Amino acid sequence: MIPRRRHRVAVLVLPGVLPLEFGAATQIFARDPHYDLAVCAEARTVPGSGFTITTAAGLEGLERAETVIVPGYEDVDAVVTTAALDALRTAHAKGVRLVSICSGAFALALAGVLNGRRATTHWRWADELQRRFPEIEVLPNRLFVDDGDLLTSAGVTTGIDLCLHLIRRDHGAAAANTRARYLVAPPQRHGGQAQYVERLVRSEENGNELDSLREWMRENLALPLDLDMLAQRAHMSRRTLTRRFREETGVAPMAWLTDARLDRARELLETTAEPVEKIGRLTGLGAPASVRAAFHRRVGTSPQEYRSLFRHLATSG
């Protein structure tokens, strides 16, 4: 049964708003019988990323809402006005649930409401969010983070994931599944952002002392490499190798090696039909159980789910 009083959702449009992030929120809640949707902004006409939005309500619409959604905007360095930030703070202080999609997390961070809380954003901006706002516990591999009255999501399609999660939280799985079927979207996705992040790029290493060692490691992933072997090849002590490796890459040699092995395994899963057992041998990740454990730990999904995802993306693209 549809409740007599609908839950009031306000979408706060900031200059440079991204069309897909804005569309995800409005498409889902404008057509759901459980919700009333209002699009709000400081100015009635707002320039978006390649388009213009005319809004029906001003910032006062945030105070009347029960949930406020901030879609991502194009430039995370853009100034968010004091009036918009004050409206977010005031709404949150009154118990309004705040939600961000993609770079919209920066607006919530600027308002100060994420201090001491857990949050995420698009993987491209996660480090920047953590650098600028060290009081926030940024979880870069999460598709979305539900921290009670503050919810944040990564980029574009994870906004759909989060909106469906809100419906599930508010009205149960059946309501969320019905909305998902309408959107032709999965009701719930598994895994994290790591499965979408660009893989290791060779060209990013220019003129570093250990370039040749890393290239040799890439070419010999199947070998049982250990720190002693790497130190011997680099003609360094274990301690010196670890220190210089960290200086050049930001991580220890064996952690980098695991990432390189996973990088190669991901490529094989995307482009071949090789069984997981063989992929484990080719990459040095080991037995299928070890491959699965590494994927769950570092990518957030299983090898089979990862392969299925990218086969689907390839056939649907």
Tell me which of 74-88, 191-205, 250-264, 283-297 is least confident: 191-205
Query: Residues 111, 85: contact at Cβ < 8 Å?
Result: yes
Separation CA 120–CA 126 (nearest Å):
7
pLDDT tens digit sequence for 142-194: 889 999 999 999 987 889 999 999 998 898 877 888 888 888 777 666 556 66
Separation CA 99–CA 224 (nearest Å):
46
CA-to-CA dists, residue 282 to 39, 275, 288, angstroms? 52, 11, 12
Does 85 reside within a domain?
A: yes
One domain for residues 191 and 68? yes
One domain for residues 186 and 286? no
Per-residue pLDDT, averaged over 27-44, amounts to 92
Separation CA 24–CA 1 (nearest Å):
25
Q: Residue 1: which pLDDT band, with cuts at 50, 70 and 90?
A: very low
One domain for residues 19 and 145? yes
Q: Model pTM? A: 0.66
Does 2 reside within a domain?
A: no
Q: Report residue 311 CA to chain centroid gap.
A: 20
> Where does a domain end: 195, 228, 260?
195
Domain of 176, CATH number, reads 3.40.50.880
Residue 240 has pLDDT above 90, yes or no: yes
Q: Residue 87: which pLDDT band, with cuts at 50, 70 and 90?
A: very high
What's the domain count of the chain? Answer: 2
One domain for residues 211 and 163? no
Per-residue pLDDT, averaged over 198-225, amounts to 76
One domain for residues 164 and 295? no
Per-residue pLDDT, averaged over 26-40, amounts to 92
One domain for residues 246 and 271? yes
Which neighbouring-strand residues pair with 38? 10
One domain for residues 129 and 107? yes
Does 1 reside within a domain?
A: no
Does 262 reside within a domain?
A: yes
- Number of helices (H), then strands (E), in the chain: 14, 10
Residue 125 has pLDDT above 50, yes or no: yes
Domain of 281, CATH number, reads 1.10.10.60
Does 167 reside within a domain?
A: yes
One domain for residues 176 and 28? yes
Query: Could you list the residue range(s) of the whole structural domain that residue 236 is in?
Result: 202-316
Three-class secondary structure of residue 199 per DSSP? coil
Tell me which of 29-38, 245-254, 307-316 is least confident: 307-316
Token couple for 36 = 């009333």
One domain for residues 27 and 134? yes
> Where does a domain end: 161, 195, 229?
195
pLDDT tens digit sequence for 276-313: 999 999 999 999 999 999 988 877 789 998 888 766 55
One domain for residues 32 and 112? yes
Separation CA 53–CA 71 (nearest Å):
13
Buried b (16+ CB within 10 A) or exposed e, 239-262: eebbebbeebbeeebeebbbebbb
Looking at residue 197, what is its pLDDT? 64
Query: Residues 72, 102: contact at Cβ < 8 Å?
Result: yes
Find the DSSP H helices in 67-198.
82-93, 104-111, 123-132, 157-171, 173-183
> Where does a domain end: 170, 195, 220?
195
Does 154 reside within a domain?
A: yes
One domain for residues 189 and 236? no
Token couple for 213 = 């060692």
What Rg, from alpha-carbon coordinates, does the chain have?
23
Does 12 reside within a domain?
A: yes
pLDDT tens digit sequence for 61-74: 998 999 999 999 99
Minimal CA–CA distance to 231: which of 216, 244, 241? Answer: 241
Does 138 reside within a domain?
A: yes
One domain for residues 79 and 191? yes
